[in-house]
Structure 1
Amino acid sequence: MRAFICGLKSLSLDAEERAFLRDASPWGVILFRRNVESREQVARLTAELRDALGRHAPVLVDQEGGRVQRLNAPNWRAYPSAARFEAAGADADQAARFAWLGARLMAHDLREVGIDVDCLPVLDAPAEGSHAIISDRAYSRDPARAAKLGRAAAEGLMAGGVAPVMKHIPGHGRARADSHLELPVVNASRAELEAVDFPPFIANADLPMAMSAHVVYTAIDASAPGTQSKTVVGEIIRGLIGFDGLLMTDDLSMKALTGSFRERAERAIAAGCDMVLHCNGDLAEAGPVAEGAPLLAGKALERAEKALACVRDVEAFDVAGGVAAFETAMAMVG
């Protein structure tokens, strides 16, 4: 089993993908809209990929709500963006209850089709003038509220048997570029980062998994994006923030990164990431990523096992009642 997560091409596995999964043995697989058609189809696909791997591998998805929802209507409920929860609550406690409920319902949807990891909550605090790539995907511009609502969402997922992945550590909220397309450079001082960007992650440092940011923080390390920076990973993520869970990269195929795909993977692992992520399903890229990813062992293996151990049980939940309460709350904010 190797320290990487890969994407798939389509709605089912072909012979080439089956062989790749068997030979490369990724820790997990991530699904996107191109992999999703119906409940029955997704359930078949998750069973199929686990059969190819010969184990109950984690299956991930980005199911945030709003603009980022891979399982969509009409087969799944349409969830609001994270920013809507702050508007829905009369106070922070009520907003957090709604965030919990939305995530608990998402977890029910995901577990039903064999998905057990959700790349949520987004703990970035958007700054004035930042790129719209984050915007309403974040819970709040206020770091304390972002921390509280993000925690509620993570707990809602875990109550439903789905492991959360907080992102994008140590913070994407100041980025003025989309890391899918280019490398964002943040010139804020360390004091500014410590006051606004890092606190939501510090408050949630005990969560099981986190996804790195492909962002350069010039006050910390001007030479490399956070994903590939020993200083950012060691001094900030593991040190100041205190996160000791499983650290995975954001997608290595994003244009913020340069070099061959094997080099991208090797640099991230050398910087201290536990796991590398490659999403687009292109095996010509995924093969070199697998070659650059080590066997999952040592501390990284311990973190991976601990991350999944937190969601073995599903708490009892009145789904119909939860849906009714959630829809009533969301209807109040339009």
Structure 2
Amino acid sequence: MSQLAAILGLSGPALTADEARFIRDADPWAFILFARNIDTRAQVRRLTGDLRDAVGRDALIFVDQEGGRVQRLRDPHWRRYPRASAYGAVHAKDPDAGRRAAYLGYRLIADDLRAVGIDADCAPVLDLPQPGADPIISDRAFGDDIDRIVDLAHAAMAGLMCGGVAPVIKHMPGHGRATVDSHLSLPRIDADAQTLAESDFVPFKRLNAAPMAMTAHVVLSDIDPDPVTLSRHAIQSVIRDRIGYDGLLMTDDLDMKALTGNNLAAKTTAVLEAGCDVALQCSGKLPDMKAVAEGARRLSGKSLERARIAELSRLSPQTFDRTDAEAKFDQLMMQVA
């Protein structure tokens, strides 16, 4: 039997007996870790090993490790990485140096993650920030130039994949115009479809071979009154057709306030019926996990095919001299220190 079309969080730094029993029965496709799950290197290695033991397979384990504000593995056990806009600043001075810096930065992140059993990163961000937008994206983006975003996102993805970590581009089809934080409320983007096609959608179209993408919880009012994550029309007409994306499409967190309603089972069913391949739910609360399992279905058809390709995108890490890479990376980033 195939896995449940879900990525689930956990409550703390160790897998509880109740969680282990649930996971064995539900068999979710993958897991995601947050700061609450992360203490030391040895502890994270134990946790990732226990998760895979619970499902009896080499399941993908995700984390948000962009650098800057969004970095779950932090000091004193892991180095801090720059915000994405810092790579953009290097690229503006010297595109070759910017590309090299982004590659090395994300290659180092991959080395950190694989060492503790994490093999999927919810990065890079491809959003195109616009004037007047909420700061939730801002410096998490590589800049406000499409060519620069595409250039650096390619380098970031290469760094992750050379290190054995599968990337997730986000937030498709674009969160850069949102004037509110989708963690707190539902953004409504009123730009017309043609304007979006010539701007916000372009980075995603140019990187549409990425193995995985995360949805934006936003309304595109010229396309559909429902949030993209819940809109069959938006997912098909924009993401699958206009952007040409045929990889695995995962939702952003179902707990975010942009998606109204407290019935997680119904919400899970709705996003999968809208065309998302996998539902992401991050609270780590066991009742919530059970509700998602109730509303989810088993991976099948194109979704199962996309999931298997995503699993294969965590390549075996290439030979890597970390000391040399860190020295070169630090030298490149000194340009914007």
Residue aligning to 2:317: 314
On the 8 A contact 2:167/2:211 being kept in 1, the answer is: yes
Matched residues in 2 for 1:226 and 1:34: separation?
A: 29
The one-letter code sitting in structure 1 at the alignment partner of 2:253 is D
Q: Deviations over 1:42-77 (max 9, x none)?
A: 001000111111111110000000000000011001
Pairwise CA distance, 1:152? 0.9
The one-letter code sitting in structure 2 at the alignment partner of 1:79 is Y
Match runs of 1:22-37 below 5 Å: 22-37=24-39
Residue aligning to 1:107: 110
On the 8 A contact 2:97/2:332 being kept in 1, the answer is: no
Match runs of 1:108-127 below 5 Å: 108-127=111-130
Pairwise CA distance, 1:93? 3.0
SS of 2:30's equivalent in the other structure is: strand
On the 8 A contact 1:85/1:98 being kept in 2, the answer is: yes
Matched residues in 2 for 1:58 and 1:134: separation?
A: 26
Matched residues in 2 for 1:244 and 1:67: separation?
A: 30
Q: Deviations over 1:146-171 (max 9, x none)?
A: 11111110111001110000000000
Q: Deviations over 1:80-132 (max 9, x none)?
A: 00000011232333212111110001000000000000000100011000001
1:246 aligns with 2:248: yes
On the 8 A contact 1:198/1:241 being kept in 2, the answer is: yes
Q: Deviations over 1:286-334 (max 9, x none)?
A: 2111111110111111101011212232111221110111112223311
SS of 1:19's equivalent in the other structure is: helix
Match among 138, 141, 146 for residue 149 of structure 2: 146
Match among 95, 100, 108 for residue 98 of structure 2: 95
1:159 aligns with 2:165: no
Pairwise CA distance, 1:238? 0.5
Q: Normalization by structure 2: what TM-score? A: 0.97
On the 8 A contact 1:144/1:199 being kept in 2, the answer is: no
Query: Structure 2: 5+ residue runs without aligned partners?
Result: none
Match among 274, 278, 288 for residue 281 of structure 2: 278
The one-letter code sitting in structure 1 at the alignment partner of 2:21 is A
Pairwise CA distance, 1:266? 1.0
Residue aligning to 1:221: 224
Match among 266, 270, 290 for residue 267 of structure 1: 270
1:45 aligns with 2:17: no
Poorly superposed stretches of 4+, deviation over 6 Å? none
State the identity as a percent. Answer: 52
Aligned residues: CA RMSD: 0.9
On the 8 A contact 2:266/2:295 being kept in 1, the answer is: yes
The one-letter code sitting in structure 2 at the alignment partner of 1:46 is T
1:185 aligns with 2:188: yes
On the 8 A contact 1:5/1:29 being kept in 2, the answer is: yes
Matched residues in 2 for 1:185 and 1:323: separation?
A: 41
Residue aligning to 1:18: 20
Matched residues in 1 for 2:295 and 2:146: separation?
A: 36
Match among 198, 211, 215 for residue 208 of structure 1: 211
On the 8 A contact 1:214/1:227 being kept in 2, the answer is: yes
SS of 1:197's equivalent in the other structure is: coil
On the 8 A contact 2:163/2:315 being kept in 1, the answer is: no
Aligned residues: 333
Match runs of 1:291-330 below 5 Å: 291-330=294-333
